[in-house]
Structure 1
Amino acid sequence: MHNSNKNVIKLYQYLKQIYPEFQSEKLKMELMYKKIFPEKIYNEKIIRNLIYEFCFNVEKFLSYINYSHSIIVFQKHLLQELSARKLDRLVKENLRSADELLSTQKIKDEDYYNIKVFLEETRLLNEMKDVPMGKSLVLSNIRKEYVKSASNYFLLVILRTYFEKKNSDEQIKSDVEIGFAEYLLKFLDDKIENYKDETVIYLLYKYLKLKEDTDTNEFYNLKNLTISNKEKLSASYFKDFILELYNYCKTQERKGNKIFGYESFELIKYMRDNNLLLENDGIILEHNYTNTVATAIRLKEIDWALDFIKNFKDKLPEKIRENTYCYNMAAVSYITSSMLNNDERLVYLDNALNFLAKVKTSDFYSMTRVNNLQLFIFYEKNDFDPMFNLIDAYRHFLHSNKLIPDALKNRYSCFINFMSRLINIKSGSKNASIEKLKLDVMKAETEYKKWLISRIEEIEKI
């Protein structure tokens, strides 16, 4: 839409949500004015004011819908107004009502404690007007509840922020620091069992510790604990924790723990069956779509993967839909080729390259995935010249990209270095040792360790 008026653009965005077939060129102020006032001369000031008022009222209405969904939030705002008007008796009555409502809440997260802190503060200020010093125990108990609620709210905010930062750092390089969170975790190390009834705090702590825990049994404990406490977690917390279990499986599988490949697939199926792969607006992110397919095809669950690709394609954002679809079809074609004889195998490898040729992207995650898959395909086809060219370009890409997390960049760099050595050996170089390469791969933190070792062992058998 070629219109610089921000209110007209905003109006179009609202209309487009309800009427997808709506054409932006029809949203011209002159046309709208003529429709509303067919017999009047066009007045730009009037139509601008109407558009502004319309957008303003739509936004107020949307805010009210969200606000009215929570009775306890409504009660909080009512108490604020009653307190401001010094209607103390009504404040006490509504505090009791709010307490009753809050006591029915099973999910004790930031929202819960935010309101709990407000209620205790309001109660304290209200009681201080009436309670004499001789009965200060009442005030002391209220203060105790206030401090406990405020502390829990503080813990939740810091732990949640740190949890999100740790996950973000694994995906994209960041210089954001939350150093205080480390001290908080150390504080909780000796006291976490005191928070066992605070499900969200307890699980946030446990998931943060899982990132550094070498005992894989903790994964199973957390999986059972999370699923059994689903009703005590908000939808976003539950989804984040299940995704964290899945990411843990991927890390363990990369380290060579094969059983976690099956665990990750079971989690993927659980997420699909419980709509955890979708965002609130019903779309699936490219990352989740591709990870789901990759998890399935690693276990040769080809039919399941194809069914998923087909059924979830339309749930991808439109801008990346074809790119994501083509990449994943290429991945399935490549894996399928490994299950066939030579002639059929080459057909599927060529199909994979054809799909990859349609992928146009500048996102570094997509770029690395495409590069890695091309290297696999060229290797299987014994096309070594394009492999060397791709490896050179890939090295430059990794070196120049500042967004890739260092740990991920190191794993990819290791992979292409090992791939280069592998090609030299396969093409007959006498200066390369297959035994040394295998030993180096087994010791290294590299992507596709399992793939590299399997190709090395193929050469050893020759």
Structure 2
Amino acid sequence: MQNSKLINVISTFSTKEIRRFDEYLNSSYFNKNELVAKLYEFCRADYPKFRPSKTDRRDAFSYVFPNETFSEQKLRYVMTDLVKLLEDYLSLTQYEKKPIRQKQNLLRELSERNLNKYFQSSLDIAQSMRSKNTYRDAAYFYDQYALESESYIFQVRNFQRNNDESLQNSVENLDLFYLATKLRSCCELMNRKNVFADDYQILFLDEILVHLKNNEYNDFPAISIYYQILMTLVESDDESHFSLLKDLLNDNADKFSMDEARDMYAFAQNYCIKKINGGNTSYLNELFLMYKTLIEKEIIFLDNFLSPWHFKNIVYVSLRLHEVDWTESFIYEYKNKISPEYRDNAFTYNLASLHFHKKEYSKALKLLQNVDYTDNIYYHLDSKSLLLKTYFELEEVESLLSLIDAFRIFLRRNKLISDYQRSVYLNLVKFVKKALNIKLKSKSHEKIMQLREEIEKTKKVADLKWLLTKIDEMDKLAAA
């Protein structure tokens, strides 16, 4: 049963969820099939490991159907029934996470059963629960729309004439829900369109943008934030959209779940990165300040851990701004926030980056030589690039030539590397070797300028700024 849907679903359960599913399965209301309970009992015995030797189909069949000849079809029927119960349990779990939706369903039942004297008190409780929710996301407006709709339907059913307010509130909240949801989806689509050149047809987008341009939604951050995000994507040259987005995020991030706030900030970060890549280095400071905000508000942490990629990006940006002391404090203070499987490598690489920036090349080399980044292709590429630069700075010629050959082979053979990454790193390797040859042999101004011109024409080169700096240093030495 290894790799079956049954085992794959159960393996995601926490210990608490396993106990709860035990109760669920043993309830005659949900399950009346003893064979299903037996199969689950067999599977549960090896939770959470689920080793192949302990989840063999024939052993499972013998446990469920003792003294019977093995039948794949018979076992599959029981497995299907158990999976169905697991899926029903997952649906119930999701339903329990949404108490307002539970109240909406209760209100509908009370209304349909003509239990009128209980309807209003239940509606009041639901409204009170909703008002205590500090989030003002799209789900908030949907819940309000649904509650007002139930109130309106109840009033119509009971021939009450004061139903206009509920209907008006229902429609207004439906509009707010639609705009917030539509804008968020449009942001995702436009982002994909920009990254992957996909072509999407977005119905009513022009009409919505005209409406939002002529109407203010500052009191509804779920709309105003996504509107500004969308405008940074469709009018990226107009930097006022980013300025407004930044202020809106700083003022309203706490009105959304951590996950949604993280996604919102990701759009703003990507805008900064695009500007930086386009040559506008003033956005380095914008990105740095944004990272500091994300750390301070703990938005950047996912399941209480800091992504090794965020860790590296923060170090990279702060070093480009020469925030050396801040970077060093950050590396040591947040090392243990990195998830354990990436922690040592991420810490070592970023500490090496710090030493390299401080021109402490021997310290950087010692760190880079004692770590293996094969578990992460991006860290692997960056570490090899940093090692390449370190050897060049230390004039470790033999080690550098050996690394150039090994790195080139790795880049050409590794299938996990994208074509773009392969190209920019191969160009780095090529130009470092050419620079080394000039440094060791001719050192002529003409050859150095020819190399500089070739690099500038190529453009797609990893660590381009460092490479051009080295070329300029070589030219000064040649002229001396």
Normalized against structure 1, the TM-score is what?
Answer: 0.70
Q: What's the CA shift for 1:117? A: 2.9
User: Corresponding residue for 1:151?
Assistant: 175
Deviations 1:338-368, CA, capped at 9 Å, x for gaps: 4346xxx34532532442xx111475x4454
Q: 2:301 aligns with which of 278, 288, 291?
A: 278
Counterpart-to-counterpart distance in 2, 1:326 and 1:24: 30
User: Corresponding residue for 2:389?
Assistant: 376
1:53-452 map, 5 Å: 67-68=95-96, 70-87=98-115, 90-91=118-119, 94-129=122-157, 142-165=166-189, 173=196, 175=198, 177=200, 179-180=202-203, 183=206, 186-188=209-211, 190-191=213-214, 194-211=216-233, 212-214=235-237, 216=239, 219-280=242-303, 282-298=304-320, 299-301=323-325, 302-308=327-333, 310-313=335-338, 315-316=339-340, 318=341, 321=342, 325-326=344-345, 328-340=347-359, 345-346=361-362, 348-355=364-371, 358-361=372-375, 363=377, 365-366=378-379, 368-382=381-395, 383=397, 385-386=401-402, 389=405, 393=409, 396=412, 426=439, 428=443, 432=447, 434=449, 437=452, 441=456, 448-452=463-467
Counterpart residue type for residue 246 of structure 2: K
* Secondary structure in structure 1 of the residue aligned to 2:13: helix
* Secondary structure in structure 1 of the residue aligned to 2:298: coil
User: Corresponding residue for 1:36?
Assistant: none
Q: What's the CA shift for 1:452? A: 3.5
Q: What's the CA shift for 1:307? A: 0.8
User: Corresponding residue for 1:456?
Assistant: 471
Normalized against structure 2, the TM-score is what?
Answer: 0.68
Counterpart residue type for residue 379 of structure 1: F
User: Corresponding residue for 1:14?
Assistant: 13
* Contact persistence 2:137–2:255 (CA under 8 A): no
Aligned length: 437
Q: What's the CA shift for 1:207? A: 2.1
* Contact persistence 1:412–1:446 (CA under 8 A): yes
* Contact persistence 2:228–2:244 (CA under 8 A): no
* Contact persistence 2:331–2:347 (CA under 8 A): no
Counterpart-to-counterpart distance in 1, 2:242 and 2:3: 53
* Secondary structure in structure 1 of the residue aligned to 2:299: coil
Counterpart-to-counterpart distance in 2, 1:395 and 1:48: 46
Counterpart-to-counterpart distance in 2, 1:246 and 1:300: 22
Q: What's the CA shift for 1:202? A: 0.2
User: Corresponding residue for 2:43?
Assistant: none
* Contact persistence 1:196–1:202 (CA under 8 A): yes
Counterpart residue type for residue 247 of structure 2: N
Q: 1:11 to 1:102 in 2, by over 3 A?
A: closer
Counterpart residue type for residue 451 of structure 1: W
Structure 1 segments unaligned to the other structure (5+ residues): 33-39
* Secondary structure in structure 2 of the residue aligned to 1:461: helix
Q: What's the CA shift for 1:174? A: 7.7
Counterpart-to-counterpart distance in 1, 2:236 and 2:264: 16
Q: What's the CA shift for 1:28? A: 6.6
* Secondary structure in structure 1 of the residue aligned to 2:324: coil
Counterpart-to-counterpart distance in 2, 1:388 and 1:445: 18
* Contact persistence 1:421–1:437 (CA under 8 A): no
Q: What CA RMSD, in Å, does the superposition of the two structures yield over aligned residues?
A: 5.0
Deviations 1:145-193, CA, capped at 9 Å, x for gaps: 44332332222222222334555678x858473644853664355235x
Counterpart-to-counterpart distance in 1, 2:357 and 2:252: 42
Counterpart-to-counterpart distance in 2, 1:275 and 1:8: 35
* Secondary structure in structure 1 of the residue aligned to 2:329: helix
Counterpart residue type for residue 158 of structure 1: K
